[in-house]
């Protein structure tokens, strides 16, 4: 059931990412909704959920990207898993923790992309960091924190119910 | 009794006066008319005051009725008219959009008819799913005959090449992406080189011979040496030539001919050669061989 839900989520997120998101781009950089979704689910649902959703999202994103077929699967799956691990070791997830966590994971994910582009020298690496990595990290963190604030009540209720059941 | 007699006298007097008036009216009509007009002037003035007052009240009531009570329907009518205006505005907008689309399609069709290559029209339905590649998604895929490495163009010039396909869509790597490489030639000097994208969203012509006399403003076109594009399609114009000491080649920055951020429709070159059918068969054979284990 959860798998189907994640599949449906991916079927909404990825087309949204490729078609509508350029309206909210900053300096030509768009927030990565796939990464945000995988991290949020990882933070709140655990590393397995984050990993599964990340893999599904990455697979779909790779189909609609000019890059190699592995790169989104690895980065999104890894991001979901990392977020799950981080979420497991936190007693309280606050919006500021979520923002910082998302920014760090976004930077790590972008670093893999940057490495895969085979930059010619330090100048190109710095250009990539300045023009894409940092901007995307900021956008991912902002959008992720916004979504977390929007649905915080519902998620915390779910957590309480889950913890109560356990 | 005295009062009764007096009243009787007055009545008789009134009757006599009325009879006299009637006789005068019949016997002297013009003179009696003049007399009546003379008497009626002041009477009319006296009457005009209440008449104006009543008239003003009447107008007030009518205005109030028309301005407030009867406006219920006008308000509804106004809303309906507003809705009509909005609808017509929307329709007008759609018609303008259709008109520009028709103009674009005409340009594409004209290019398609003039071009020696076999092409397939496709719509841009999305952008690359990540921020790391300059790519776009087209609504034509393998089921329409699209294969990887096919060139993508508009009437203005080269757009990029297909790098991924699935049954219904394909991904195009734009000419401005650093991972793209297209064989180009400077139209004026006929010097050949490789056009690659840059990190700044432009393109660069690399490997220009050192002795070449290329200069800013020269146009770069496809050389036709690689399979994706026929010879002579516009890529862009040189904006800056760089020649470093000790380098074996020159390089030059190119401003792409096509505005890649505003693309709606493109043409996929399914066969760039004049003998398109043979080329298609060749491509199919190549892909057939690749699929075999």
Query: A64 and B137: CB-CB below 8 Å?
Result: yes
- pLDDT classification of A89: cutoffs 50, 70, 90: confident
Query: B127 and A15: CB-CB below 8 Å?
Result: no
Task: Check: CB of residue B110 under 8 Å from CB of residue B121.
Answer: no
Instruction: Give the model's pLDDT for residue B76.
Output: 79
Measured between CA atoms, how close is B126 to chain A, in angstroms? 5
Instruction: Give the model's pLDDT for residue A165.
Output: 44
Assess B263–A contact: CB distance below 8 Å, yes or no.
no
Summarize pLDDT for B210-269 with one digit per residue, the tens: 888 899 999 999 988 777 888 888 999 999 998 877 888 999 999 998 888 888 889 999
Please tell me which residue, B100 or B195, carries the higher pLDDT value.
B195
Is a pLDDT exceeding 60 seen at residue B276? no
Which residue in B128, B129, B163, B200 has the most chain A C-beta atoms within 10 A of its own C-beta, making it the best mutation to test that interface?
Answer: B129
Summarize pLDDT for A2-17 with one digit per residue, the tens: 888 888 888 888 888 8
Instruction: Give the model's pLDDT for residue B46.
Output: 66
Query: A64 and B129: CB-CB below 8 Å?
Result: yes
Please tell me which residue, B191 or B29, carries the higher pLDDT value.
B191
Interface confidence (ipTM) of the complex: 0.81
Mean pLDDT of B194-223: 90
Instruction: Give the model's pLDDT for residue B193.
Output: 92
Summarize pLDDT for A20-45 with one digit per residue, the tens: 887 788 888 999 999 999 999 998 88
Instruction: Give the model's pLDDT for residue B204.
Output: 92
Instruction: Give the model's pLDDT for residue B290.
Output: 47
- pLDDT classification of B288: cutoffs 50, 70, 90: low
Q: Residue B69 gets which letter from DSSP? A: I
Mean pLDDT of B144-148: 90
**Beta-carbon contacts below 8 Å between A and B:** 70
Please tell me which residue, A100 or B283, carries the higher pLDDT value.
A100
Which residue in A10, A36, A38, A66 has the most chain B C-beta atoms within 10 A of its own C-beta, making it the best mutation to test that interface?
Answer: A66
Query: A18 and B132: CB-CB below 8 Å?
Result: no
Query: A18 and B169: CB-CB below 8 Å?
Result: no
Say which range, A101-105, A126-130, A157-161, B99-103, has the weakest mean pLDDT: A157-161
Is a pLDDT exceeding 60 seen at residue B274? no
Instruction: Give the model's pLDDT for residue B5.
Output: 59
Instruction: Give the model's pLDDT for residue B282.
Output: 53
Assess A22–B contact: CB distance below 8 Å, yes or no.
yes
Instruction: Give the model's pLDDT for residue A34.
Output: 93
Assess B178–A contact: CB distance below 8 Å, yes or no.
yes
Say which range, A88-97, B67-76, B282-291, has the weakest mean pLDDT: B282-291
Please tell me which residue, B243 or B159, carries the higher pLDDT value.
B159
Assess B179–A contact: CB distance below 8 Å, yes or no.
yes
Summarize pLDDT for A132-143 with one digit per residue, the tens: 999 999 999 999
Is a pLDDT exceeding 50 seen at residue B292? no
What's chain B's average pLDDT? 81
Please tell me which residue, B197 or B35, carries the higher pLDDT value.
B197
Please tell me which residue, B284 or B112, carries the higher pLDDT value.
B112
What's chain A's average pLDDT? 85
Instruction: Give the model's pLDDT for residue A158.
Output: 57
Instruction: Give the model's pLDDT for residue A80.
Output: 92
Measured between CB atoms, which of A66, A117, A131 is closest to B128? Answer: A66
């Amino acid at each position: 059931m959860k798998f189907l839900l994640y599949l449906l989520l991916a079927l909404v997120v990825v087309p949204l990412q490729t078609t509508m998101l350029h309206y909210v781009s900053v300096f030509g950089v768009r927030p990565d909704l796939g990464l945000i979704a995988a991290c949020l689910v990882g933070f709140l649902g655990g590393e397995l959920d984050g990993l599964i959703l990340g893999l599904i999202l990455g697979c779909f994103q790779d189909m609609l990207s000019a890059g190699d077929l592995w790169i989104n699967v690895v980065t999104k799956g890894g991001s979901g898993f990392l977020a799950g691990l981080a979420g497991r070791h936190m007693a309280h997830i606050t919006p500021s923790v979520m923002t910082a966590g998302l920014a760090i994971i976004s930077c790590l994910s972008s670093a893999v992309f940057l490495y895969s582009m085979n930059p010619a020298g330090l100048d190109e690496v710095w250009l990539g960091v300045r023009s894409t990595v940092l901007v995307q990290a900021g956008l991912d963190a902002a959008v992720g924190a916004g979504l977390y604030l929007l649905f915080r009540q519902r998620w915390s209720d779910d957590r309480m119910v889950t913890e109560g059941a356990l | 009794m005295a009062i009764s007699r007096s009243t009787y006298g007055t009545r008789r007097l009134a009757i006599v006066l009325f009879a006299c008036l009637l006789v005068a009216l019949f016997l002297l009509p013009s003179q009696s008319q003049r007399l009546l007009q003379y008497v009626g002037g002041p009477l009319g003035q006296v009457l005009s005051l209440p008449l104006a007052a009543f008239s003003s009240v009447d107008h007030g009531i009518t205005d109030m009725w028309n301005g407030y009570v009867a406006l219920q329907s006008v308000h509804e009518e106004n809303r309906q008219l507003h809705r009509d205006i909005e609808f017509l505005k929307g329709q007008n907008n759609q018609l303008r959009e259709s008109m520009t689309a028709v103009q674009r399609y005409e340009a594409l069709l004209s290019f398609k008819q003039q071009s020696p290559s076999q092409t397939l029209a496709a719509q841009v339905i999305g952008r690359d799913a990540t921020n790391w590649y300059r790519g776009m998604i087209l609504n034509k895929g393998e089921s329409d005959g699209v294969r990887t490495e096919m060139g993508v163009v508009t009437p203005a010039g080269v757009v990029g090449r297909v790098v991924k396909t699935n049954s219904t869509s394909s991904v195009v790597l734009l000419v401005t992406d650093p991972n793209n490489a297209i064989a180009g030639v400077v139209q004026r000097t006929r010097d050949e080189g490789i056009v690659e994208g840059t990190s700044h969203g432009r393109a660069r012509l690399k490997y220009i011979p050192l002795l070449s006399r290329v200069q800013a403003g020269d146009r770069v076109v496809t050389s036709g040496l690689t399979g994706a594009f026929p010879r002579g399609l516009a890529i862009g114009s040189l904006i800056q030539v760089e020649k470093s000491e000790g380098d074996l080649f020159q390089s030059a920055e190119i401003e792409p001919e096509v505005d890649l951020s505003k693309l709606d429709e493109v043409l996929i070159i399914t066969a760039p050669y004049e003998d398109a059918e043979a080329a298609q068969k060749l491509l199919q054979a190549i892909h057939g061989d690749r699929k075999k284990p």
